Chains A and B, each alone.
Chain A
Amino acid sequence: MKGISSKAAAAPYLIWMAVFIVVPLIMVAYFAFTDESGAFTLDNLANVAQYSNIFIRSIWLAAISTVICLVIAYPLSYMLSGMKAHTQSTMLMIVMLPMWMNFLLRTYAWMAILGNNGLLNTLLGFFGLGPYKLLNTQGAVVLGMVYNYIPFMILPIYSVMVKIDKSVIEAARDLGCNSVNVLFRVILPLSFPGVASGITMVFVPAISTFIISRMLGGGGNLLVGDLIEMQFLGNSYNPNLGAAISFVLMVILLLIMTIMNQFGEDDTENDRVLM
């Protein structure tokens, strides 16, 4: 009796989950496999192939951004985790603070910096350099992704690093490991769950963004996100195609995430959420 009544507490949520999480995803699939009149068709999915270059570009740019994020964030997290407890929390706050500002505003700020007559080119001009084309390039898109999503890489890696028992490292040192060995054989393997969740947390928003590519990419560097947005609220209205693209994107991400989860599963399920 007790069991039933407390389980029932989840009932409202289960209904909510069914209606607003499961059904919408089914609708995406439904739209992906039907045409305007609602008849079954595979044309939409076939048409997605036409845009494979956009998928490739998105994966490519998102992957580059993820790697850059990782390269920047890993040493930073390592240094952060080595600081005194009090400095640590202050530093962490300073690192995370920009993330709390609306990302549209932050991305917009880069537009002012990177423009042909922007701050950076003006600055370079004083040294007789440039002007370089910085804005409206793929490089600018990558920069925007790194800038916006790097906190998602720092946090999980940091939270795993803090938990590494310092005595393990000392033990390794005592057993004759030099610092390179300590890094590669102790810290790196122990921090893998954090790295894995950091990678997914950067890669997923990066591959699906449409704001960054529009604001910093100049509209000529479409990403999957732009393509989806165009079909629903943009210049070429075609929700069936849009649903098909979303569907394909979801499948790709599902694949990538299953791979990542294989590596990061250990004990981080809750940490990932809590940080």
Chain B
Amino acid sequence: MKKILGKIYIALVLMFLYIPIFVMIVFSFNTTKSRTVMSGFTFDWYIKLFNNELIMSSLRNTIIIAVIASVLATVLGTFAAVGISRMKKIPRMIITNITTIPMINPDIITGVSLMLLFVFFAARMNFEFGFVTLVIAHITFDVPYVIMNVLPKLNQMDPNLHEAALDLGCSPMMAFRKVVLPEIMPGVLSGFLMSVTFSLDDFVVSYFTSGATSQTLPITIYSMTRRKVSPEINALSTIIFIVVVIVLVVKNIITTRNLKLTSEGERND
């Protein structure tokens, strides 16, 4: 009895989570623009979507910005984590606390504060809002996630390893590459992936720091929802949903396979 109730409960929560998505998917195939009445089945909105230059170019911008920002954030963050982990307790505490600010601060304040900064510089250095400001903003909210993912891995590492490598004649850079990096790689990777996710999905910070050029997809979606709405938006949701499902399923398969492999490996030992 208890079990059944539990299952019903989970089913209800999942329904709540999935109904809106389901509705969008269904209506992305609707022949008319109505959001309540299905009048027939069509792929027209998908075709229109792929011919929509605005959406396609903002999709391109989003991907480019996300990749560049995440790569830079990962490099910056990994080195930062290495440096921070070597610091004494008090400076380390101060820096990690400041680092968490963009994570816990509301997005709107991060966005507004960066906007004020960029306006200040734009007026004095004669540059425009656009690609550069977006990348800077994205790096700023990405780095903390990298640092927070890498730091624990560094703390788990035996500090003697690094010193041993140095004693054995490695240059600091080489010691980092050969000894430290392999150890912290899982943290670096998950930091990178999180950065990509947050960058792809970010609307609020981008909204305040974007200019006339380099609109990202979320900004385009926002302006779409404020106008005469075209079911292209439903088609777009459906595609994003399918991509997300595929990515997550693949990721899940890979991790479970890895788990199996490692457990088998252990058994063989």
Contacts and interface: CB of A to CB of B under 8 A. Distances in A.
A and B touch in the complex (CB under 8 A): yes
A175 B7 CA distance: 30
B35 A115 contact: yes
Interface in B97-121: 98-99, 101-110, 112-117, 120
A52 to B, nearest CB: 18
B13 A72 contact: yes
Contact of B20 (A6, A9, A76, A110): A110
Given A6-B86, A101-B237, A273 B76 contact: no
B240 interface: yes
A8 B166 CA distance: 16
Given A97-B248, A105-B240, A13 B190 contact: no
Nearest to B225: A108
Contacts of A94: 14
B76 A21 contact: no
Contact of B108 (A11, A93, A109, A228): A228
A13 B77 contact: yes
Interface in B21-68: 21, 23-24, 27, 35-36
Contacts of B262: none
Interface stretch (A24-32, A39-47, A187-195): A24-32
Contacts of A19: 117
Given A122-B36, A211-B222, A249 B106 contact: yes
A100 B252 contact: no
Given A205-B107, A211-B203, A239-B116, A95 B21 contact: no
B236 A100 contact: no
Given A8-B83, A104-B203, A86 B10 contact: no
A262 interface: no
A13 B80 contact: yes
Contacts of A246: 108-109, 112-113
Interface residues of B, number: 86
A6 B106 contact: no
A105 B109 contact: no
Nearest to B252: A93
A52 B48 CA distance: 46
Given A10-B82, A210-B108, A113 B116 contact: no
B87 interface: yes
Interface string B188-230: 0010000001000101100110000000011001100100010
B112 A228 contact: yes
A218 to B, nearest CB: 13
Contacts of B110: 24
Contacts of A9: 79-80, 82-83, 176
B87 A104 contact: no
Nearest to B241: A101
Interface residues of A, number: 82
Contacts of A250: 105, 109
A233 B226 CA distance: 15
A89 interface: yes
Nearest to B12: A72
Nearest to B119: A239
B95 A98 contact: no
Given A103-B201, A109-B20, A249 B109 contact: yes
B103 A273 contact: yes
A198 B11 CA distance: 22
A111 B148 CA distance: 37
B184 interface: no
A14 interface: yes
Given A24-B116, A86-B256, A253-B106, 5 more contacts: A12-B80, A100-B244, A106-B21, A119-B36, A239-B116
Q: Which 8 pairs from chain A and chain B are nearest by CB? A: A10-B83, A13-B80, A208-B106, A24-B113, A109-B20, A273-B148, A9-B83, A112-B35
12 contacts: A2-B166, A20-B114, A24-B116, A79-B6, A98-B18, A104-B222, A106-B20, A112-B23, A205-B107, A242-B112, A250-B105, A273-B149
